[in-house]
Amino acid sequence: MQPELTPLAPTAALPRPSIMGRVLGGLFFVLALVTFGFGLYNAAHAAGLAGTHGTLAVERCWVEQGSRNSSDTKVCGGTFRSDNGKIIDDQASIRAEVKPGSKVSVQQAGNGYVKVGFGETTRWIAMFFLGWLVVAFGMSFAVTGMFPRSGMQVAMITRAVSGTRVGMVRKWLVRGGLAGSGVCLLLTLSAWLLS
């Protein structure tokens, strides 16, 4: 006599399509646009394509305490002087680890400053590619309208679109996002190791 087979856990069912699933997908698209914009904005400044170029004479460094969800950040500040000498800011700061007394090539970006260089540029471009992953994650919810209530349902919704055109686009976005961000982060690391 064989024991009766019973499932160990109840199987999750796909949720019904609703406006909440489409809103969730839309939120991921908005988050991706912010990620794209932030990454490209800072990459353009780090590459010297936008903003005012100058030098930051680092006088002091400190650690800004992160919130519960983020880690502490090292910030260094001092005096920024533009290359043309027209802009002098004695309250300038950047989020980077540099030694007090050093001079750092920076680009003025709005009210802040971005460190200039190849490694910094590729680091910000990596963020652009991470935006592709955000789009890919939200596509399934936007297209199906399904709002997941558990991790199991997220996987099921993703699997539900896997054989469709949306699934193909999603697959290429994931591959491109992972490859692009991986290459950029390797270039950033190599630039950091060579400096």
SS3 183: helix
User: According to the model, what pLDDT value does residue 139 have?
Assistant: 93
pTM confidence score? 0.76
Residues facing residue 82 across a β-bridge: 54
Tell me the pLDDT band of 69, cut-offs 50, 70 and 90: low
User: According to the model, what pLDDT value does residue 150 have?
Assistant: 87
Mean pLDDT of the region 151-180: 92
Mean pLDDT of the region 80-108: 90
User: According to the model, what pLDDT value does residue 68 have?
Assistant: 58
Q: What is the CA radius of gyration of the chain?
A: 23
User: According to the model, what pLDDT value does residue 16 have?
Assistant: 87
**DSSP annotation of 12:** P
Determine contact, residues 98/104, Cβ cutoff 8 Å: yes
More confident residue, 51 or 27: 27
Instruction: Indicate whether 30 pLDDT > 70.
Output: yes
CA distances from 104 to 63, 122, 139, 161 (A): 18, 18, 41, 49
Determine contact, residues 147/15, Cβ cutoff 8 Å: yes
Determine contact, residues 39/131, Cβ cutoff 8 Å: yes
SS3 37: helix
Determine contact, residues 112/34, Cβ cutoff 8 Å: no
User: According to the model, what pLDDT value does residue 58 have?
Assistant: 94
User: According to the model, what pLDDT value does residue 66 have?
Assistant: 66
Mean pLDDT of the region 106-132: 91
Determine contact, residues 194/135, Cβ cutoff 8 Å: no
Instruction: Indicate whether 77 pLDDT > 60.
Output: yes
Tell me the pLDDT band of 64, cut-offs 50, 70 and 90: confident
Tell me the pLDDT band of 6, cut-offs 50, 70 and 90: low
* Cβ atoms within 10 Å, residue 101: 10
Mean pLDDT of the region 72-83: 89
More confident residue, 66 or 2: 66
* Rounded-to-integer distance, Cα 85 and Cα 79, Å: 12
The token duo for 17 is 């399509």
Instruction: Indicate whether 116 pLDDT > 60.
Output: yes
Please state, for a pLDDT cut of 90, what percent of the chain lies above it.
58
